[in-house]
Each structure stands twice: as C-alpha cells, then as structure tokens.
C-alpha cells in the first residue's frame, strides 16, 4: 500500500463518525471499517473497494454519495467499487456413498465454473421495437446526449422509424435539444404516448422531473420509472430505439443494461486520457453483460477556428483510435468541437435536421456504420 492509498483508506474509514443513522443501520453485521476494506491506485485513479453484501441499490447510492462528498473536497480522482465479500453458497456436493465405486464418485465432481454475469430473470423485449441501441459514456459532459439526438435523427433521415429514450436522470437534456415543451399524454390503455419531434418519438425523465427536482430520483424510483419507459410507453413499430444512458458505469447502468435486450452499445468519448479511461470502463461494463460494442464516437475531436479555419486538437489526438486498437472496437467517427453544435442543442434545432450541414454529413456516416455494424453483429450470432 502506498502512502497515498493509505491516506485515502484512512480518510474513508474515518467517515464512520459522520454516518447517518440509516446508513449505519444498513451496514448490518459488518462495521464501516470492515466494509471499506481497501484502496488501490490505477493510472492515477484511486479505486475504493467496498463490501456491499446485503445492501440494496438505494443504500449503495447513499454510501457512494457520502464518500464522494467527503473525498471530493480533496480533489482526488477516485471511484467506489462495490463487491461481494461472501461468496454465494455453492450447490451442496453429494457425498460419495460408502458403497460407491470410485468412478461414480468422480461423476459428482464438477469442474469449477466461472461466475455467471447474466441477469437471473432474463431480458424482456420492448414490444414493436426491433433494435435497441444504448449510447453510453464513462463520464458526464462528453456529448453523449448530443450524439444520441443526432444519431437518432441521422437514422431517421435514412428512412428508419426511430425513438429516443432519455434515461439520463442526472441531466435529461433531450427535450431541450429536440425543442419539446409538451407533456406526454396517456391513452385509453393507460400507455404513455411519447411526444414526437423532428420525426422521433421521445421519452425522457425531463418530462416528469423539472431540473430543480431531479435530485429526488433515487435507486428504486429510477428503476421503476425506467421500467415504465420501456414497457408502458406506446412506442409503436420502431426500427431503432436509441437510449441515452446516464453517465458512468455504476449499478443503475448495469441494471438497465440487464433489463432489456440491447442490440449494441455506442461509446462516446472525448480525446483526453481521462475520458478515454472512462470509455474503457464503459466497454468493460458492456462486455461483462454480453452487450456487443457497435463502436466508439470521438466527440469534440478537433476545434475549427471560425475566424481562420485552423484545426486544433484541443483535447489531444488519436484517443479513440487507441481505444479501438487496444479493445478491438470500431471507431464510428469523429465529431468536431464547434460552437454551432452547442447553440443548436440549446435552441432545440439539431444540426442533423438541417439540410446539407457538414455536421449532418458527419452523423450520416456514423449512422451508416452503426447500421452496418449492428447488422453484421446480428448475422454473426
Ligand atoms: N461537438 C461539440 N461541439 C460543441 N459543443 C458540444 C459538442 N458536443 C456537445 N457539446 C455541448 O456540450 C454540452 C454537453 O453536451 P451533452 O449534454 O451532449 O453531454 P452529455 O455527455 O450528455 O452530458 P451529461 O452527461 O451531463 O448529460 C452541451 O452544451 C452540448 O451542446
């Protein structure tokens, strides 16, 4: 253990004295110190390992925010990892009978199996929806919603029927980006009718929680609302449903990914090293849950000076290509950093809806690759 990791472990363990009664109660038979059992450093990120046996999602969320709140003040770059301390009980082995021949006794000895990461209850499809594509990023603010909206529109421009589900509880920006200001209605079958904009069917947390109340969404509520968005929305017949996932790779994302059959995931990143590390975490999460990676989109890759036209790699260059090479995932395209993209997002007039704009062409190419790669993956199955 290095001096830094020891210092962080001590700081986290000292939080025991500030835990609320409900958090203390959720710890059950373990003490806080037993649960916060180690800290490791990997490429400048401190991984705080926390035993989560017996904790539900809401309790884990509460614990994660206590740690984040307190360590965040010290400007450390860290993540909290929840893992199981006690191994799940294995099938009781039948003891070989006294009269067994030795060959019979061998029949009971099974080779050790790898843990099964698949959801226990199976995934439930969304009626009428042919393909679900998750758009994810390891961290917030890299342009995941911008890519989701423009990718959805680019697919629509190519003649597909497309819906977009804004599952980003922390900052549901899709309604603004698509200029939707009306609330969804409910039909006679009690199904929610998704508002339509620029030809896309849209559902978002933003319709139900204005920004100032977004904080009230907590683990179980999020899942309940998401389940309604999947199965109680009148999506109709769709070729593609694009899901703008919340940023990160925590429990909420995992649960979501494990609830529905996702055809593939698009990872959005910016070229900086820190963002790329997060992209790698995203890839790992999808691989763990058997969701194929359609590819990586590098956003804000170059800055084109509006005055002189010079291209600058503000955040570095070649990042997505490195991730692509190392993890054998295709690069779907590079989107430049331009003021017009930001303005179009704020105005609710996406550039992909405007004829002949260079950004529209960029996303058309990305969408073509998404379709091509998704079909190729389906054919491989
Ligand atoms: N290529 C780009 N050029 C200029 N501005 C961009 C670009 N991509 C995104 N932005 C702007 O950056 C901001 C963040 O983008 P966006 O909301 O898409 O990111 P996000 O990853 O979904 O963020 P969050 O996780 O916080 O929801 C927005 O104001 C958006 O308009």
| ipTM of the complex, rounded to two decimals | 0.97
Pocket of ligand 1 contains residue 142 by CB under 6 Å? yes
- Alpha-carbon gap, residue 250 to 82, rounded angstroms: 9
CA 371 to centroid of ligand 1, rounded, Å: 23
Residue-wise pLDDT tens digits, 301-348: 888 777 777 777 777 677 788 888 888 899 999 999 999 999 999 999
Domain assignment of residue 96, yes or no: no
- DSSP code, position 233: B
Strand extents, DSSP E, the chain: 36-42, 45-51, 78-83, 129-136, 162-166, 185-186, 192-193, 196-197, 200-204, 238-244, 264-269, 293-304, 311-312, 331-337
Residue 273 has pLDDT above 50, yes or no: yes
Cβ(47)–Cβ(17) under 8 Å?
no
Last residue of a domain, one of 50, 83, 116: 83
Pocket of ligand 1 contains residue 347 by CB under 6 Å? no
CA 92 to centroid of ligand 1, rounded, Å: 52
pLDDT at residue 251, rounded to an integer: 67
Q: What's the average model confidence in pLDDT over 198-205?
A: 94
137: left (phi over 0), alpha (psi -120 to 50) or beta: beta
pLDDT at residue 67, rounded to an integer: 87
CA-CA-CA-CA torsion for 242, 358, 181, 231, nearest 10 degrees? -10
Domain assignment of residue 28, yes or no: yes
Q: What is the β-pairing status of strands 293-304 and 311-312? A: antiparallel
Looking at the structure of the chain, the number of domains it has is: 2
- Alpha-carbon gap, residue 268 to 247, rounded angstroms: 10
CATH of residue 64: 3.30.300
Domain assignment of residue 110, yes or no: no
Pocket of ligand 1 contains residue 301 by CB under 6 Å? no
Residue-wise pLDDT tens digits, 179-200: 998 778 888 888 899 999 999 9
Last residue of a domain, one of 49, 66, 83: 83
pLDDT at residue 198, rounded to an integer: 95
Pair (70, 133) in one structural domain: no
- Ligand 1 closest atom vs CA 139: 25
Pair (77, 220) in one structural domain: no
Pair (69, 154) in one structural domain: no
219: pLDDT confidence band, cut at 50, 70 and 90?
Answer: low
80: pLDDT confidence band, cut at 50, 70 and 90?
Answer: confident
Pair (45, 133) in one structural domain: no
Residue 108 has pLDDT above 50, yes or no: no
221: pLDDT confidence band, cut at 50, 70 and 90?
Answer: confident
Domain assignment of residue 104, yes or no: no
More confident residue, 75 or 296: 296
Domain assignment of residue 117, yes or no: no
Domain assignment of residue 91, yes or no: no
Residue 120 has pLDDT above 70, yes or no: no
SS3 assignment, position 152: helix
Residue 12 has pLDDT above 80, yes or no: yes
Residue closest via CA to ligand 1's atom 29 equals: 342
Cβ(126)–Cβ(230) under 8 Å?
yes
Nearest to 311 by CA among 321, 320, 301: 301
Residue 90 has pLDDT above 50, yes or no: no
Pair (209, 332) in one structural domain: yes
Last residue of a domain, one of 21, 56, 83: 83
CA 363 to centroid of ligand 1, rounded, Å: 15
122: pLDDT confidence band, cut at 50, 70 and 90?
Answer: low
Pair (150, 217) in one structural domain: yes
Pocket of ligand 1 contains residue 175 by CB under 6 Å? no
Domain assignment of residue 159, yes or no: yes
Residue 115 has pLDDT above 70, yes or no: no
Residue closest via CA to ligand 1's atom 3 equals: 337
More confident residue, 337 or 209: 337
CA 351 to centroid of ligand 1, rounded, Å: 13
Q: What is the β-pairing status of strands 196-197 and 162-166? A: unpaired
The domain of 168 spans: 129-380
Pair (29, 173) in one structural domain: no
Residue closest via CA to ligand 1's atom 11 equals: 342
CA 115 to centroid of ligand 1, rounded, Å: 37
Pocket of ligand 1 contains residue 145 by CB under 6 Å? yes
Pocket of ligand 1 contains residue 96 by CB under 6 Å? no
Q: Annotated binding residues for ATP, as ranges?
A: 138-145
Nearest to 265 by CA among 287, 237, 239: 287
To the nearest whole number, what is the mean pLDDT of the chain? 81
In this structure, of 5-9, 15-19, 85-89, 233-237, the range with the lowest mean pLDDT score is 85-89
Ligand 1 mutation pick, 134, 242, 345, max ligand atoms within 8 A of CB? 345
Domain assignment of residue 331, yes or no: yes
Pocket of ligand 1 contains residue 351 by CB under 6 Å? no
Pair (140, 243) in one structural domain: yes
- DSSP code, position 349: -
Pair (43, 141) in one structural domain: no
Residue 146 has pLDDT above 90, yes or no: yes
- Ligand 1 closest atom vs CA 345: 31
Pair (69, 139) in one structural domain: no
pLDDT at residue 320, rounded to an integer: 82
Pair (202, 63) in one structural domain: no
CATH of residue 149: 3.40.50.300
Pair (303, 367) in one structural domain: yes
């Amino acid at each position: 253990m290095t001096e830094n990791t020891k210092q962080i472990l001590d700081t986290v363990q000292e939080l025991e004295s500030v835990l609320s009664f409900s958090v203390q109660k959720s710890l059950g038979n373990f003490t806080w110190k037993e649960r916060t059992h180690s800290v490791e450093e990997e490429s400048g990120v401190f991984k705080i390992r926390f035993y989560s046996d017996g904790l539900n999602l809401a309790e884990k969320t509460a614990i994660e925010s206590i740690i984040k709140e307190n360590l965040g003040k010290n400007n450390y770059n860290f993540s909290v990892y929840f893992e199981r301390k006690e191994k799940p009980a294995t099938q009781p082995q039948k003891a070989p009978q006294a009269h067994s021949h030795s060959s019979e006794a061998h029949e009971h000895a099974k080779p050790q199996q790898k843990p099964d990461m698949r959801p226990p209850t199976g995934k439930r499809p969304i009626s009428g929806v042919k393909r679900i594509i998750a758009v994810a990023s390891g961290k917030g603010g890299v342009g995941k919603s911008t890519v989701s909206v423009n990718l959805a529109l680019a697919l629509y421009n190519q003649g597909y029927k497309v819906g977009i589900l804004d599952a980003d509880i922390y900052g549901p920006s899709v309604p603004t980006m698509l200029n939707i200001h009306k609330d969804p209605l409910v039909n006679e079958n009690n199904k929610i009718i998704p508002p339509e904009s620029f030809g896309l069917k849209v559902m978002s947390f933003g319709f139900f929680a204005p920004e100032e109340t977004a904080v009230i969404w907590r683990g179980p509520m999020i899942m309940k609302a998401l389940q309604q968005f999947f199965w109680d929305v009148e999506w109709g017949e769709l070729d593609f449903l694009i899901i703008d996932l919340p940023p990160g790779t925590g429990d909420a994302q995992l649960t979501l990914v494990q609830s529905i059959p996702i055809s593939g995931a698009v990872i959005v990143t910016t070229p900086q090293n820190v963002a790329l590390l997060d992209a790698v975490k995203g890839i790992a999460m999808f691989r763990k849950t058997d969701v194929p990676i359609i590819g990586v989109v590098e956003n804000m890759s170059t800055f084109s000076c509006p005055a002189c036209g010079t291209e600058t790699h503000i955040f570095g260059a070649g990042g997505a290509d490195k991730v692509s090479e190392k993890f054998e995932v295709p690069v779907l395209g590079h989107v430049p950093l331009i003021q017009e993209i930001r303005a179009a997002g704020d105005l609710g007039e996406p550039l992909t809806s405007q004829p002949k704009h260079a950004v529209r062409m960029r996303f058309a190419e990305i969408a073509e690759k998404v379709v091509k790669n998704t079909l190729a993956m389906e054919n491989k199955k």
